A = this chain, B = another copy of it.
Amino acid sequence: MGVSAPPGPDTLYIAVVGGGGDLPRRQREVAEAVGRAVAQSGAVLVCGGLGGAMEAACRGARAGGGLTVGILPGGARGDANPYVDIAVPTGLGEARNALVVRAADAVVAVAGEYGTLSEIALALQAGIPVVGLDTWELGRAGEPDRAVVRAADPAGAVALAIDLARSARR
């Protein structure tokens, strides 16, 4: 957090969602780079507060001088990964996925399992933009659904997320 100004009314909140367990090294690096870019853009990073992509993103955000918020499924603040600045233990179980998404102006999804898919879906249902990096592909009736905006790399994903968040706010 260090040198950063406190968040104000114009500060954007970007959620980073992705797998919670042991990740392939590349996914971890991508999530970390996304977190760093979120911090460098001046946005607050929101996530589910646990390990895997959540921890990597928080580590990146901290390295980038940003503030991180972890919205935890359990009731204990101590479940948060060590790079979470503000931990919100909800005790809601996976119903907290809806809260991670609601807390954000845009979502960046990095790969991920079914929990990540639920967060992508809840964001799209709520009209919150989602940018994807190697994440779920969706289709209906044989046609791809293109609501998740694809990005080529972490910096591009965050730039897109920031742009989409600003447009959605206006």
Which A residues contact B (CB, under 8 angstroms)? 1-2, 6-7, 9, 13, 44, 67, 69, 71, 75, 77-78, 82, 85-95, 97-99, 102-103, 111, 113-115, 117-118, 120-122, 124-126, 134-142, 147
Contact = CB atoms under 8 A, between A and B. Distances in A.
Given A120-B121, A136-B139, A138-B139, 11 more contacts: A7-B85, A9-B78, A90-B95, A94-B125, A95-B99, A98-B98, A117-B121, A118-B118, A134-B141, A137-B140, A138-B138
10 contacts: A2-B6, A86-B86, A90-B102, A91-B102, A92-B92, A92-B98, A94-B98, A97-B122, A118-B122, A135-B140
How many copies of the polypeptide does the oligomer hold?
4
B1 A6 contact: yes
A102 B75 contact: yes
A115 B86 CA distance: 24
Q: Is the interface of A mostly helix, strand, loop or mixed?
A: mixed
Contacts of A125: 94, 113-115, 117-118
B69 A88 contact: yes
Nearest to A8: B85
B7 A86 contact: yes
A25 to B, nearest CB: 16
A88 to B, nearest CB: 5
A82 to B, nearest CB: 7
B99 A90 contact: yes
